Structure 1
Amino acid sequence: MRIRPSQPADADRLFQVWHDAVKATHHFLSAEDFAAIAGDVRTYLASASFWVADDEAGQPAAFMGMTGAHIDALFVDPARHGHGIGRALTDHARHHEEDGVLTVDVNEQNDGAVAFYERIGFVRFDRSALDDAGRPYPLLHLRRSISR
């Protein structure tokens, strides 16, 4: 597996990774919210930079977006869940930050993601009743000390 910066040509594949991962893990989303979020994600993918984890064939299998030491997005192709790709991306994040703490927000209803982050050392420090767009999907705010 290779981790590299995203390229504009990755956008369609990254959207497919996002789509498949959300369909596999976000059963709590209404169809209307999923469609609205999908539009936002297409815009986000076209305008932001990501770290991309390529599979053995050189195709994106996962991606992570960051703002400073905050993970904004981390999505892994569900066919690759449990293969260490998410851990590799979060480990990669620590090498690019200087403040000693890595943070992430995760949907409280996404049990698998919550368990993943807690398993790799993140702890809860706060909770929001709504997501960033004001929808009724609570967020857990997690942090992990970055060891170098």
Structure 2
Amino acid sequence: MITIRSSRPGEGARVVEIWRRAVDATHDFLSPEDRQAIDEMVCDFLPQAPLLLAVDAHDYPQAFMLIDNGHMQALFVDPACRGTGIGAALVRHGLALHPRMTTDVNEQNGQAVGFYERMGFKRIGRSALDDQGRPYPLIHLAYQA
């Protein structure tokens, strides 16, 4: 059973662990230097961010999502839980809160692009660089019911 709730103080280490495991499983296109720089940035920011967590029956976080002003900034699922519907449940929860939700996804992460498109997101643009100016193109998506 999946429960979605807000993150709590003290869960930062688990959230960073989910992020690292998910990135290691899906972002093989990152250079080692960029992976390290992004890790440092994430470790500074993520533990304090207002996240939505998907937790198991024991209240243990399995995935998280960050939405800012209707834009999904992050969705990461522990690889051990991929394919169980946790990511889709988080997205549906986010869409209930923000019916016109948008997001960006790395073009090189084909599985994620396909996931969002199956969830009803449509491509509305593309950027050649990521938000930090690195050479990782982004696909801009918007939910369209």
Q: After superposition, where does 1:44-83 map in structure 2 within 5 Å?
A: 44-83=45-84
Q: Distance in 1 between matches of 2:126 and 2:105?
A: 10
1:109 and 2:115 equivalent? no
Comparing 29-38 and 55-64, the one that deviates more:
55-64
Aligned to 2:143: 144
Q: Distance in 1 between matches of 2:91 and 2:37?
A: 27
Task: Check conservation: 2:102, 2:140, Cα contact below 8 A.
Answer: yes
One-letter code aligned to 2:121: F
Q: Distance in 2 between matches of 1:123 and 1:28?
A: 23
Q: Distance in 2 between matches of 1:35 and 1:115?
A: 27
Aligned to 2:134: 135
Residue 141 of structure 1 deviates from its aligned partner by 0.2
Residue 137 of structure 1 deviates from its aligned partner by 0.2
Q: Distance in 2 between matches of 1:44 and 1:91?
A: 25
Q: Distance in 2 between matches of 1:58 and 1:50?
A: 15
Residue 3 of structure 1 deviates from its aligned partner by 0.4
Residue 46 of structure 1 deviates from its aligned partner by 2.9
Task: Check conservation: 2:107, 2:113, Cα contact below 8 A.
Answer: yes
Residue 96 of structure 1 deviates from its aligned partner by 1.8
Q: Distance in 1 between matches of 2:133 and 2:110?
A: 20
Aligned to 1:41: 42
Q: Distance in 1 between matches of 2:25 and 2:57?
A: 22
Q: Distance in 2 between matches of 1:27 and 1:138?
A: 14
Task: Check conservation: 2:12, 2:48, Cα contact below 8 A.
Answer: no
- For structure 1, the residue ranges without an aligned partner over 5 or more in a row are none
Residue 47 of structure 1 deviates from its aligned partner by 2.9
Q: Distance in 1 between matches of 2:97 and 2:114?
A: 24
Q: Tell me how many residue pairs correspond in the alignment.
A: 144
- For structure 2, the residue ranges without an aligned partner over 5 or more in a row are none
Q: Distance in 2 between matches of 1:31 and 1:48?
A: 25
What's the RMSD between the two structures over aligned residues?
1.0
Q: Distance in 1 between matches of 2:101 and 2:47?
A: 25
